[in-house]
Amino acid sequence: MSILFLGDTFSNYHKSLCISDDIKRIIGKNKYIVCNFEGALADSILPYHSKVGPAIRQDLDFTKSLIENGINIFTLANNHIFDFDYEGARSTLDFFESRDILHGGLLDRNKDGIVRIKENNKNISIICASEKNGISSSKKNGSELSYHLIFDHKFEQVIKNEKKICDYVVLFLHGGLEGYELPLKNFSKRYKQFIDLGADIIIAHHPHIIQPSEVYKNKKIYYSLGDFYFSHESIKRMNKFGLGVQINFFDEIETEDIFFKFENNILDLTEGELIQKDLRNKINSYDSNENHINEVYEKFVMPLVLDGFGGLSNKQTLLQNIKNIARSIYKKSHFRKKRILLLKHLLKNDAYKEMLFNVDKYNKILNLYEKLK
């Protein structure tokens, strides 16, 4: 029995899934096909949650096309499921539940969000979690929806408990730095902890590009599959390549990597040899020195600050720029809400904490944020 795992999947532009016949054949060979459903099925009149970054909603016809093309497990633990707050997440759950379609990731009342499959006397559990990035729970009329957090200690017990009752634990996780070709050190360390706790394989998504995989204690960690299908009316796909992982569950887990290429508005298969070689070179050069942190800091943290606030200098440290922001907040109240949201995003987002901790300024910036609230 095999399960095909696909990466981030979203469209509010294409009304149907535009894939080649070769991909359709691969989907047809697998009994279960899993994708990260990146966004809510939200009515257009619903207000979006105040956040940094875009609030995106899935197109209903596109979602139906995913189902028609064989995708039959949808995971919802990601940073966009609460873009339209409780109502958007609830409407997404209602859509899948009313059609008896397997879905996972959201904790709802007495439901634990775990997808459990039994085939050929094998029990397989797919557990989802996301990094802390924006809103991770929402309540209405005493009812709460939420998802597991990757760095929450309570998630460790979820893995250990599930391993006691199943043969295989698959972690399908939403985390990492968007657009960056290497896994962050804090994520790499955390995923290896999950293997130690009982996970049999880890497959991650969210960076929107393929990141390297590695083997730890004879178990595979895929740090990012990249996008499976991403079609937005105004946001370009970050990278034309994506990765799918087909897992064959025998006495041991066997995996097959399947590479995709989005070109001329259609997703097709592509040769993966050169991509795999490039990924191996990247992971082999991945070390713990400060060059890695500095590269991420300069390439991702500072541009975000500069874009959000304008007029700041990337020659200054993050703390110096934050102080400048604080001064300007009291001079220009019009931008106060936006600036505090961005500052909060930097402080609370798991993908940025590694840089902030390594430059030894996280606590100072956190204190500044508390004063600005």
Mean pLDDT of 358-363: 50
pLDDT over threshold 80, residue 322: no
Residue that is last in its domain, among 234, 260, 284: 284
Give 85's Cβ-side CA count (13 Å radius). Answer: 11
Do 76 and 160 share a domain, yes or no?
yes
Using a cut of 0.95, tell me whether the model's pTM lies above it. no
Residue that is last in its domain, among 245, 265, 284: 284
Q: Among 105, 37, 60, 26, which Cα is nearest to 270's?
A: 26
End-to-end CA, the chain: 52
User: Any idea what the CATH number is for the domain that residue 23 is in?
Assistant: 3.60.21.10
- 219 CA to centre of own chain: 21
Q: Among 73, 84, 1, which Cα is nearest to 36's?
A: 73
pLDDT over threshold 60, residue 361: no
Q: Among 92, 67, 89, which Cα is nearest to 143's?
A: 89
Is the separation of the CB atoms in 7 and 228 below 8 Å? yes
Residue that is last in its domain, among 269, 284, 299: 284
Q: What phi, psi does 215 have (nearest 5°)?
A: -105, 125
Structural domain that includes position 354: 290-372
> DSSP string of 281-297?
HHHHT--SSHHHHHHHI
Do 201 and 340 share a domain, yes or no?
no
* pLDDT tens digit sequence for 136-188: 999 998 899 999 999 999 999 999 999 999 999 999 999 998 988 888 888 99
Do 63 and 125 share a domain, yes or no?
yes
- Tokens 């956190």 belong to 366
Joined together, the tokens standing for residue 172 give: 């399908």
Do 97 and 189 share a domain, yes or no?
yes
Total number of domains in the chain: 2
DSSP 140: E
Q: What phi, psi does 164 have (nearest 5°)?
A: -70, -20
pLDDT over threshold 50, residue 288: no
Do 87 and 179 share a domain, yes or no?
yes
Q: What percent of the chain has pLDDT over 70?
A: 79
* pLDDT tens digit sequence for 52-69: 778 899 999 999 999 999
Measured distance CA(195)–CA(201) in Å, rounded: 7
Do 365 and 307 share a domain, yes or no?
yes
Do 197 and 278 share a domain, yes or no?
yes
Q: What is the largest CA-CA distance in the chain?
A: 67
Do 177 and 243 share a domain, yes or no?
yes
- The pLDDT, as a whole number, for residue 370 is 56
DSSP 311: S
Do 106 and 217 share a domain, yes or no?
yes
